[in-house]
Amino acid sequence: MSSTAMQKAMSGEKVPESKTRAVLNEALSQAKNLGNRIARAREVSEELAEAVLQTAETQGTVFAASFAEGYFGEEKMDVGPVDLRLGGGLLVGGYGLYKSMSGKGGSHALAIGNGLLAVGIGRIGRHAGRALAEKKNGSSTPPAQPPAAAPAPVAAPATRGEPAQLAADDIGEIARMVRMVPGTEGDDLAGRRRARLRRRNREEEDETSGRRGRFIRERS
């Protein structure tokens, strides 16, 4: 009945005096429900904005820490054996976790700490994967073979037109020329000519004798 009275009041119809109070109560109840819905929507939007902001803080921290590593070098990120980003992430994230548990905020510090921890843990994982790949590749690589022995040098062939070695007679003539006494050049030259002539005659006689022997053997 009250809803019907409410509809009449909203349509501009006259409502009896006895039903006026019921109409007011219904209007107040609907206004309260609407206010609750608006408050809930506001809470959801605030939570969504907070989540978006925390994600942006985490991703921005990851970008900033990675940029610092690329600009300054990976070795500049360490203090002794400890990565600065890993240690800073533990400290900032622990502070944010403490504040969140105590109900005093801390969500922003927790987001920044998560970003620093993500970069530090990513570096550890990258080094571990690289070490495993190098170990795997090293075990599959065959041992290096010893270098092959260099081939023995080959003597260059004698140039055409040049004798491979000096004849014994030429060596003898060179030796006689070295031992030649000054003033006997003419005698030595005549002696060499006579020796060459005698050698040639002996060679002709040997050749004639050889032919004669072959002829006799063929005739017999």
Query: Domains of the chain: which residue ranges?
Result: 2-137, 168-219
- Cα pseudo-dihedral 178, 180, 181, 187, rounded to 10: -160
Average pLDDT over residues 129-149: 75
The pLDDT of residue 44 is: 83
Beta strands in 61-162 (DSSP E): 78-79, 82-83
| pLDDT confidence of residue 159 | 47
Mean pLDDT of the chain: 76
The amino acid present at 62, given as its one-letter code, is V
pLDDT at 133: 92
DSSP 155: P
Averaged pLDDT for residues 45-52? 87
Dihedral angle at the C-alpha atoms of 87, 92, 95, 99, nearest 10 degrees? -160
- Span 152-196, pLDDT tens digits: 555 455 444 444 444 555 666 666 665 554 444 455 666 777 778
Q: Please, which residues bridge with residue 82 across strands?
A: 79
Structure tokens given for 47: 């939570």
